[in-house]
Amino acid sequence: MRTLAVWILDDASGADRAADVLARFARHQAAGVDDAAAAWWVAGAPGPGVRRLSGPLSPDPAGDLFWGTLLGIALLPRFGTATRPDGALTGIGIPDDLVARTGTALRPGTSALLVLADGTAVGRLHDALAAYRPTLLYTNLSPAHDELLRTAFPPST
């Protein structure tokens, strides 16, 4: 079973440090980490920056479209142009609560590490990130939802 994990860090450069931890983690304990992205919002910037990390960490990544969609929907209300659509990602197992909490937590002066991995890898990675005191938001995807996610967001390079 895969887990979508979002670690919120309380400074804009925190995602860079977390990405370094993830890179070391992936080199030594690669099994179980499928894909990852970092988001950061520098104070005073009009919006966050987002980048996929290290290309695919597995042969079956979620891809750029997934990370952009997740963060785009999560952050819509911040820009005053729309409300977050209810149930936008529930069909692929991502609850509204997780989307809303991600959108609320990622604000100017913060950053986030977003990872798709198996639950065991998420637990080990959380331990590796403990020194940064991140807030962890996550959901476990059922096998059916995982398959729907893979179909809806095929790997991109």
pLDDT tens, residue by residue, 85-101:
677 787 878 888 888 89
pLDDT at residue 157 greater than cutoff 70: no
pLDDT digits (tens, 9 = 90+) for 76-134: 666 666 665 677 787 878 888 888 899 899 999 999 999 999 889 999 999 999 999 99
pLDDT at residue 34 greater than cutoff 90: no
Spatial distance between the Cα atoms of 79 and 143, rounded to a whole number of angstroms: 34
| CB hemisphere CA count around 125 (13 angstroms) | 37
User: Which of the four pLDDT bands, split at 50, 70 and 90, describes residue 43?
Assistant: very high
Going from N- to C-terminal start, the domains of the chain cover: 2-152
pLDDT of residue 54: 65
| CB hemisphere CA count around 119 (13 angstroms) | 6
